[in-house]
Amino acid sequence: MPLIAAAVAVVALAGCSSGGGSATATGSGTSSAAAAAPVTLTFQSLSDQPATIAATKKIVDSWNAANPDIQVNVVQASWDSVNDKLTTQFAGGTAPDIIHDDAASIVSFASDGYLADLTGQMSQAKKDDIGKGLLASVTVDGKVVAYPTEVQSYMVFANKTLLDQAGVTIPTGDSMTWDQFRQIAKATTKNGVAGVGWGLKSPVATFMTLGLGSGGTYFDGTGTKATIHVGDNELALPKLVHQMAYDDKSILPVTLTQSGSEALAAFYGGKVAMTVQGSYLAASMAKDAPSGFSWVVLPPLAGPQGAAQAADPQTLSVSADSKHAAQAVKFLEYFTSSDNLEAVNEADALIPATTSAQKAMATKLGSQNGWDQILKSGKDFQSAPFLFVNKYSQWKSTVATPAFQKYLANQIDDAGLTDALTNGWKQLG
Amino acid sequence: MSTLTVGASVDRPVRRRSGAGRRRQSRETAVLVAPSVLLIVVLSVAPLLAGVALAFTDARLVHNPHYSFVGAANFTKLADNTMFWSSFRIGIVWAVSVTVLQLVAAMGLALLLNADLRLRGLARVLALVPWAMPPVVVSIMWRMIYSPNAGPLNAVLRAIGLPGDTNWLGSFTTALPAVIAVGVWVGMPQTTVTLLAGLQQVPVETYEAAAIDGAGAWRRFTAVTMPSLRPIVTSITSLNFIWNFNSFSLVYVLTEGGPGGKTMLPMLFTYIEAFQNRNIGYAAAMGVVLVVVVVALLGLYLWSQLRNEDKP
């Protein structure tokens, strides 16, 4: 008998979860009526640098102290598994109120209806403060679905001692061309040292982001109507890496199969003169680099069509199921004020998404730890076409990642890569 | 199965009773059996049927989902999906080689542990250690062992004068064998324990008789040990094959299917389709195909084994 009761309970629970939609509707109705009652918001944060966790905590604590009615509770999660986690959280109705993720991932969540529309709720001042390309990257079907907070650019970090020994003058100026980069890599490849350690285990993001430098847009159209094209512009960057690895032999081969952080070991160990990494590494490098290790950030990489990089900002959005969306937006407005954004980005060594915070950062930090170079790369962010392609993440994981890995391992040639990327896209159906 | 045996054993003493008594008896039986049947239906049969039903819909993991029935569309789409079928080939290579190597290695270990050696108890405990470790921990540990620049494996190879710069998990030629080695290592304990239990059931007299007839160690193994172990070998290889074909976490943490899809097992492929691409209908169709193929392969294997057993 108790078993039958348990089975009934299971069925009843199943009924509850499928009726979640209507429960939410009544919930949001009551919350506006009882706005004065204290609410608690869950904020799932992905910050992984200790300094950023501390900076986030400081902002949340000051908010909680000033707003007894709207308490924010930070829950820590990890970047590694966040999209799988969010998928199950959304499906199970347990998503946090405030969601930390990146633009490339939330676009698909937004088009599947999981994120609240913030168009009317984000203040006009904030919209003006956020760069155009960045605001576009979080606008899905005409709706703003997130506050962009931090932007990563890919930067070249160099071992100053090895560059000096090879007689290379460290480039200055607003950008460094791909050819310059290749020459420096060649010049520093000697005495058992390779020019570059490039962690390309997950190559797609790097190629899509830096590929804009040669006009490599990969996709036309948006949503479900998008089509792919892989031509000379798209192949320029993969070709460059391939030539450096196999013709010049200026890339340490093992790093091509490693993650960025694994490739960093070779850089610290003096086995490579340069490494291409997300700008965020500047923060940990300032602390973790071996003592006496002298490093510099080189000017942003520029392809034949300029130094553009695709903007894939970190974002904060509100769950469509949240009962306290209005309160969540208030907190997000506070979180993205220029002082707060400056503090978080400084801790992460990333570029703030708002112009005012970028200015605050430039005045505060000057050129220490390569900040001037990193901020320079922030001027050329472009909204990337791939963000708005519905099947992008699917194509990335099942088609593009293995295809680029094969190409970098010299298993397929240019034609094979083009073929794998385009035919794989068609197979997604 | 259990229903039948319970019914049969209860029936006999009841024979003399009245029809009403028999009816009451069978009601009691039904009441006794109902809880376990209910549990099986709720926890196993219902999800299985739901999964199969899902394979015939265009379900996606979206907010306020609307499913519609699409017939066999998922399956026809799957038939053209070369990426899925290439992952399928990798899955077969993985499952067969892990299962066979596991059996061979575990047989050796079990024979060793069955021999009358000193510290046998300690050795038996040590042989069980990999079993006690969660797959994710095993994977992280082996990723460190295989690490191309800082790993102990390459350091040892260098120390004994062999080339010590192999990129085990990153190179196209070594990735799958390296992952298979970990699969064998992690699955050995349960195979060893099962075989060891079997070995202990073989009567000592048969060995003595064989020895008197002049059989050497190898002949004793092929003529006495193997025939006695056959049913155990059959069952443990079938179980291992299912586990290995469906294994996921080990390879997910070790390589995530890379490099270039060389270790993309069908389970990984299905997981990506369901939880990264959120096409659960399509992923369910993949699951159905996997189940059907595993059942077919196992049926073939068990049929050939049982047919051999029937022979004198």
The model's pLDDT over B281-290, given as tens digits with 9 standing for 90+, comes to 999 999 999 9
Mean pLDDT of B207-230: 88
Burial B131-166 (b: 16+ CB within 10 A, else e): eeeebeebbeebbeebbbbebebbeeeeeeeeebeb
Residue A22 reports pLDDT greater than 90: no
State which residue of chain B sits closest to A423, comparing Cα positions: B82
Structure tokens at B272: 């990506």
Mean pLDDT of B106-120: 88
Q: Distance, in angstroms, between A6 CA and closest chain B CA?
A: 10
SS3 A317: strand
Mean pLDDT of A214-228: 89
Residue B93 reports pLDDT greater than 80: yes
Task: Report the candidate in A417, A235, A207, A210 with the shortest Cα–Cα distance to residue A308.
Answer: A210
Residue B82 reports pLDDT greater than 90: no
DSSP A389: B
Per-residue pLDDT, B197 = 93
Per-residue pLDDT, B311 = 57
- Report chain A's mean pLDDT, rounded to a whole number: 87
Compute the distance between CA of residue A331 and CA of residue A324 in angstroms, rounded to an integer: 11
Q: Distance, in angstroms, between B78 CA and closest chain A CA?
A: 10
SS3 A193: strand
Partnered with residue A102 across adjacent β-strands are A314
Region class of B163: left (phi > 0), else alpha (psi between -120 and 50), else beta = beta
B149/A254 touch (CB, cutoff 8 Å), yes or no: yes
A90/B260 touch (CB, cutoff 8 Å), yes or no: no
Residues from chain B contacting residue A399 (CB–CB below 8 Å): 83
Residues from chain A contacting residue B273 (CB–CB below 8 Å): 398
Residue B300 reports pLDDT greater than 50: yes
Q: Distance, in angstroms, between B277 CA and closest chain A CA?
A: 5
Strands A176-177 and A301-302, by their bridges, are parallel
Structure tokens at A240: 């460059």
Burial A324-358 (b: 16+ CB within 10 A, else e): bbbbbbbbbebbbebebbbbbbbbbbbbbbbebbb
Compute the distance between CA of residue A263 and CA of residue B241 in angstroms, rounded to an integer: 37
Per-residue pLDDT, A374 = 87
Mean pLDDT of A61-77: 95
State which residue of chain B sits closest to A4, comparing Cα positions: B35
Report whether A193 contacts A319 (CB < 8 A): no
Nearest 10 degrees: CA dihedral of B168, B174, B178, B179?
110
Mean pLDDT of B223-238: 90
Per-residue pLDDT, A9 = 41
Per-residue pLDDT, B5 = 43
Interface of A with B in 374-403 (CB under 8 A): 391, 393-394, 397-399, 401-403
3-state helix, strand, coil in chain A (%, to 5): 55, 20, 30
Report whether A317 contacts A115 (CB < 8 A): yes
Compute the distance between CA of residue A376 and CA of residue A223 in angstroms, rounded to an integer: 32
B164 to each of B17, B156, B178, how far by Cα in Å?
81, 8, 15
Per-residue pLDDT, A131 = 81
The model's pLDDT over B11-30, given as tens digits with 9 standing for 90+, comes to 454 455 567 777 888 888 88
Per-residue pLDDT, B17 = 57
Tell me the longest C-alpha to C-alpha distance in chain A: 84
Element (H, E) at B20: helix B19-40
Of all residues in chain B, the percent with pLDDT exceeding 90 is 45
Region class of B256: left (phi > 0), else alpha (psi between -120 and 50), else beta = left
B38/A4 touch (CB, cutoff 8 Å), yes or no: yes
**For residue A429, how many other CB atoms are within 10 A of its CB?**
12
Q: Distance, in angstroms, between B77 CA and closest chain A CA?
A: 8
Q: Half-sphere exposure (CA, 13 Å, Cβ side) for B283?
A: 18
Residue A62 reports pLDDT greater than 90: yes
A406/B275 touch (CB, cutoff 8 Å), yes or no: no
Lowest-pLDDT range of A19-28, A134-143, B139-148, B153-162: A19-28
The residues, ordered by sequence, that sit 6+ positions from B47 with a Cβ below 8 Å of its Cβ are none
φ and ψ at B29, to 5 degrees? -60, -45
Q: How many interchain CB pairs under 8 A, A with B?
A: 98
- Report chain B's mean pLDDT, rounded to a whole number: 87
Q: Half-sphere exposure (CA, 13 Å, Cβ side) for B17?
A: 13
The residue with tokens 């460190």 is B144
Q: Distance, in angstroms, between A260 CA and closest chain B CA?
A: 14
pLDDT confidence band for A19 (50 / 70 / 90): very low
pLDDT confidence band for A345 (50 / 70 / 90): very high
B276/A114 touch (CB, cutoff 8 Å), yes or no: no
Comparing A340 with A368, the larger pLDDT belongs to A340
**C-alpha angle A33-A35-A38 in degrees, rounded to nearest 5:** 135
The residues, ordered by sequence, that sit 6+ positions from A239 with a Cβ below 8 Å of its Cβ are A414
The model's pLDDT over A346-390, given as tens digits with 9 standing for 90+, comes to 988 899 999 999 999 988 888 888 888 888 888 778 888 888 887
Edge-to-edge strand list for the sheet holding A194-198: A194-198, A272-278, A154-159, A295-297
Comparing A5 with A347, the larger pLDDT belongs to A347
The residues, ordered by sequence, that sit 6+ positions from A113 with a Cβ below 8 Å of its Cβ are A320, B62, B63, B64
DSSP A379: G
**For residue B13, how many other CB atoms are within 10 A of its CB?**
9
Residue A32 reports pLDDT greater than 60: no
B38/A7 touch (CB, cutoff 8 Å), yes or no: yes
Establish whether the linkage from the previous residue to A171 is cis, with ω within 30° of 0.
Answer: no
A253/B167 touch (CB, cutoff 8 Å), yes or no: yes
Residues from chain A contacting residue B279 (CB–CB below 8 Å): 394
Residue B1 reports pLDDT greater than 90: no
SS3 B201: helix
Strands A219-220 and A227-228, by their bridges, are antiparallel
Partnered with residue A44 across adjacent β-strands are A75, A99
Task: Report the candidate in B137, B310, B108 with the shortest Cα–Cα distance to residue B225.
Answer: B108
The model's pLDDT over B143-166, given as tens digits with 9 standing for 90+, comes to 999 988 778 999 999 899 888 888
Partnered with residue A223 across adjacent β-strands are A389
Please state at what angle helix A50-66 crosses helix A338-348, rounded to 10 degrees: 160
pLDDT confidence band for A274 (50 / 70 / 90): very high
